[in-house]
Chain A
Amino acid sequence: MNDQAQRTISVRVRRQDRRGSAGYWQTFRIAHQPNMNVISLLQEIAARPVTVEGRHTAPVVYDSNCLENVCGSCSMVINGRARQACNTLVDALLAERPQVEIAPLSKFPVVRDLFVDRSRMFDALKKVRAWIPVDTYGPIGEGPVVAPEDAATRYDLSRCMTCGCCLEVCPQVNHRSEFIGPQAIGQAALFNLHPTGAMNSGPRLEALMEPGGISDCGNAQNCVKACPKQVPLTWAIGKVGRDTTLHAIRRWLMK
């Protein structure tokens, strides 16, 4: 019991003070408690920001909000894997290796410490016109009838929380490429599958036929494995790929 009470966890955190400045590591020692997740480690550091060397430092800066794997804020690279800090449990990590190591996502610019700038993903949603254009918000009646299976597929796609894990693990997303990434392709599929959204699928497909679009996908299939919401990304990429081909042929025939 005493051993348990005094058990501590070594936590190594990648830090960076400003945009563009050099990164460095710091290590903290945190008292072990039952049911800890990575967020609670960071909260403990904030409550007592002292490194193993006894140096007082600033609390680690990180992005978080809901803490239940649905807002997409707290993506980090934890023990080498991109995931959410909130639903990554410390005991499971310790079963893998004795130290917990936390670094920011590497495919996005660091703002500070673990906090990264993911605005490119929101810009991508603008690019693929990820919305249903309706005539009015006034009360003009019911929506279109949708088959339960189609609603289920759309629900699976619609769970995407813009967390960035799929971009993080994609070899085609890097500082030399313009590839828009799997998330936006999944969202284009979501809106093209809706009866109203389908009426304006053209612009969505065309956005993905430009440079950096769907043809940049190298089919590594890492994305679908990394997605914390099990979004059917490879299915969506396949579907949008076929639809863009058809769209191109149709456009050519109409010329």
Chain B
Amino acid sequence: MMRRRVVVVGGGLAGLAATMKLAEDDIGVDLVSMVPVKRSHSVCAQGGINCCNKFTRAQGDSEWNHFDDTAYGGEFLNNQPPIKEMADWAPKIVDLLDRLGVPFNRSEEGNLAVRRFGGTLYKRTVYAGASTGQQLLYALDEQVRRFEVDGVVRKFEFWEFLGPLIDGQGACRGVVAQDMFSLEIRAFPADAVVMATGGCGLVFGKSTMSMVCTGGANARCYRAGAHYANGEFVQVHPTAIPGADKLRLISEAARGEAGRVWVPRRQGDARHPNDVPEAERWYFLEEKYPKYGNLVPRDIATREIFALCKNGYSVDPHNYAVYLDLTERATGIKREVLHKKLGNILEIYEQFVGTDPLGEPMKIFPAVHYSMGGLWVDYEKNHHTGGLNWDSPRNQQTNVPGLFAAGECDYQYHGANRLGANALLSCIFSGLLVGRALRAFVQNPPGGGAAALPAGLAERETARHKAAMDALLKRDGTENPYLLHRELGRLMTANVTVVRDNRDLRATLERLEELRERGQRAALSDRGDWTNQNLSFTRALGDMILLARVITEGALRRDECRGAHYKPEFEIPAPTADDPAELQRQALEWCRRYQRQNDEWLKTTLARWTPAGPEFSYEPVECHLIPPRPRTYGVRGAEVIEQVWRAMSPARGNPGGAAGAEAAGAAIGGRA
């Protein structure tokens, strides 16, 4: 029998994991990627990958704790069956990577070395220097090359995905893609398609992401009918360095290895940081979050930095910046030791800023970093384990039959905020999972699969894409796509990142509409028929504007604060009273409001494309194992909230129900 054939679009960690898993099961793969897969964006990941491990287990850690940290970190917006399954698989995935020869750092005994990352109290992160993503990507790339030599995998590198092939019944039957050199457009029929095309940082102009991370491919699936979920959740990383072309990340691993964040206590203090005495340094995260310190989750660290800089504490006159200190004076750790663990990021800082990050504190700035939102995908819960049915073809499938998604381009694993070192895990996990899901799916693909493509479908779709390209190549106009992209980036960064305000969001939607119109007047400065990068970029610009609209409108509708989505107007004021009874009352009010907020907003945003703009709907989040609780990270002053919430909980048959809050209110009221 002829081999079953799947098209995998994108060869970052998710796409490669899916490809190798499929190939192992002797399912043929056409792997389509805009860049040689070994140069995919995953190569940038620095700090590490999370798993419960021997060392943390000895301290009482478990897969359950990892699961709990992930849910709490995502403010309970992530469906629990998939993240429970992911946490359960994490140690096994790291074992596999180790067997594949990833040069992880080692302990003296030859075990995998571990470090701490944000949003957890355990050292749950294994790493390969400070270029873990590079090392993991290479390991998977090597496995796929092995199957390429065997002929099971065919690679189409420097090919750009233009859209899925959708049949009359609405099922996905393959893709249309373009050779980026010859500009040939052709169809790739398949029994199923996996999108593994990464995030959309370029919607914000400059970010920590790579140049292909426009989200273009994801927008094309959305345009073709796939639902886009939680688009408004965008992670802004607290520690990056600005550049003329991109913002470069300084990994959370720097803080995991004892790096400390501070500003001078005096606003506008112009002294060199090394001249600021200890007593005049304000380690504001350590002070405010005694439990997690510098390793609070990213959304919280970023907001704290923003607020401080807004109040005049920035250490840079033109930007929002604070110090990240890795000097021996601040950390007590010797230069050589840090070099072994963080070499790559130290090099990045030295090369691009020009000073020695171990000799003086680094100056760091927040930057757009990760897309929690993405293509909506399904899962099938295992009622026995609370995790997933590993074999179900529902796992990772979008609402379009036959179209699957995995990696950063799906929305599934990180809720309202992703924890550091959980992305590499979710990418590899979802890649392996989709591979397994397809094993069942391709036995009986919709409409008979690749071999029985409806007559004319491929021809019609290639002709449509070709006509669109010809029109774009010929188009006259006054707008310049690169300058429009800069405008888009400035607009989105100013209004749809750390702090959001409904008035600004409304104005942004209007500006986006204007950019969309102007985008249709963008003319190419290259009309050639050979390796035309201008063509590819201008096409992606339209996609970025489309996604910007989904992100912005999703943010406008969501009237609450959750994880990375922060609207001060809807923030629940923290209890501040000195009088204990009043404090209790305020805390109770806080908990009630938090409860109401969950009742109203603990739900997934779904956007569906229509010619008139996105149509929004919402679906409930499955929190069947860990009931939502206030996400305080032990901030000073929040003890009373936790106390009140705990007192409320046992009174509730249904944790999370409003009735429980009332009952608890009565109990506490009685005591006061």
Contacts and interface: CB of A to CB of B under 8 A. Distances in A.
A130 to B, nearest CB: 6
Nearest to B142: A131
A56 B525 contact: yes
B455 interface: no
Interface string A69-87: 1111100000000000011
A37 to B, nearest CB: 6
Given A58-B525, A137-B20, A148 B104 contact: no
A249 interface: no
Given A56-B525, A148-B108, A37 B101 contact: no
A58 B528 contact: yes
A122 B352 CA distance: 29
Contacts of B21: 137
Given A67-B210, A194-B101, A126 B106 contact: no
Nearest to A64: B211
Interface string B82-113: 00000000001001101111011111111100
B131 A70 contact: yes
B533 interface: yes
A158 B98 contact: no
B224 interface: no
Contact of A65 (B35, B109, B138): B35
B490 to A, nearest CB: 14
A71 B101 contact: no
A40 interface: yes
Interface stretch (A42-50, A177-185, A214-222): A42-50
A141 B108 CA distance: 21
A36 B107 CA distance: 40
A70 B43 contact: yes
Nearest to A112: B531
A70 B134 contact: yes
Contacts of A49: 525
A142 B35 CA distance: 32
Nearest to B206: A67
Given A69-B351, A142-B95, A143-B98, A131 B146 contact: yes
A133 interface: yes
A61 B531 contact: yes
B244 interface: yes
A17 B530 CA distance: 8
B56 interface: no
A207 interface: no
A71 B210 contact: yes
A143 B107 contact: no
Contact of A139 (B39, B95, B131, B526): B95
A129 B145 CA distance: 9
Given A61-B531, A69-B348, A143 B92 contact: no
Nearest to B92: A139
B71 to A, nearest CB: 24
Contacts of A115: 531
B35 A73 contact: yes
Interface residues of A, number: 68
Q: Which of A59, A89, A131, A141 has the most CB of B within 10 A?
A: A131
B480 interface: yes
Nearest to A43: B245
B424 to A, nearest CB: 15
A159 B131 CA distance: 8
A58 B103 CA distance: 43
Interface of A, secondary structure class, is loop
Contacts of A197: 101
Contact of A143 (B20, B43, B99, B348): B99
Contacts of A15: none
B103 A155 contact: yes
Contacts, number: 186
B348 A122 contact: no
B212 interface: yes
Interface string B124-139: 0000110100110011
Interface string B236-258: 00000011111011000000000
Contacts of B244: 33-37, 40, 43
A159 B138 CA distance: 9
A65 B108 CA distance: 36
B110 A148 contact: yes
Contacts of B103: 151-152, 154-155, 158
A125 interface: yes
B41 A65 contact: yes
A18 interface: yes
A71 B44 contact: yes
Given A61-B533, A148-B106, A159-B131, A68 B101 contact: no
A71 B351 contact: no
B349 to A, nearest CB: 11
Contacts of B525: 46, 49, 56-59
Nearest to A154: B103
A22 to B, nearest CB: 15
B495 interface: no
Contacts of B95: 139, 141-143
A146 interface: yes
B145 A65 contact: no
B585 interface: no
B36 interface: yes
Q: Which of B20, B352, B480, B533 has the most CB of A within 10 A?
A: B533
Contacts of A146: 106, 110
B534 interface: yes
A147 interface: yes
A253 interface: no
Given A47-B480, A196-B101, A133 B44 contact: no
Nearest to B248: A68
Contact of A111 (B243, B354, B531): B531
A136 to B, nearest CB: 7
Contacts of B340: 152
A151 B106 contact: yes
A87 B211 CA distance: 15
B432 to A, nearest CB: 7
Given A71-B44, A191-B101, A148 B107 contact: yes
A96 to B, nearest CB: 16
Given A40-B244, A65-B210, A87-B351, A47 B482 contact: yes
B517 interface: no
Contacts of B99: 132, 134, 140, 142-144, 196
B316 interface: no
B143 interface: yes
B364 to A, nearest CB: 15
B362 to A, nearest CB: 15
A134 B482 CA distance: 46
Contact of A151 (B44, B104, B249): B104
A147 B244 CA distance: 42
A228 to B, nearest CB: 10
B618 interface: no
B149 interface: yes
Interface in B146-167: 146, 148-149
A1 to B, nearest CB: 15
Nearest to B209: A66
B348 A67 contact: no
Contact of B482 (A46, A144, A191): A46
A66 B108 CA distance: 33
B612 interface: no
A124 to B, nearest CB: 11
B39 A65 contact: yes
Contacts of A65: 35, 39-41, 43, 210-212
Given A43-B244, A112-B531, 4 more contacts: A35-B242, A59-B534, A137-B432, A155-B135
A-B residue pairs, 4 tightest by C-beta: A143-B98, A131-B142, A58-B526, A40-B244
24 contacts: A18-B530, A34-B244, A37-B352, A40-B245, A58-B534, A65-B35, A65-B43, A66-B41, A71-B35, A86-B245, A112-B530, A132-B142, A137-B96, A143-B95, A143-B100, A144-B99, A145-B110, A148-B106, A148-B107, A151-B105, A158-B103, A158-B138, A161-B43, A197-B101
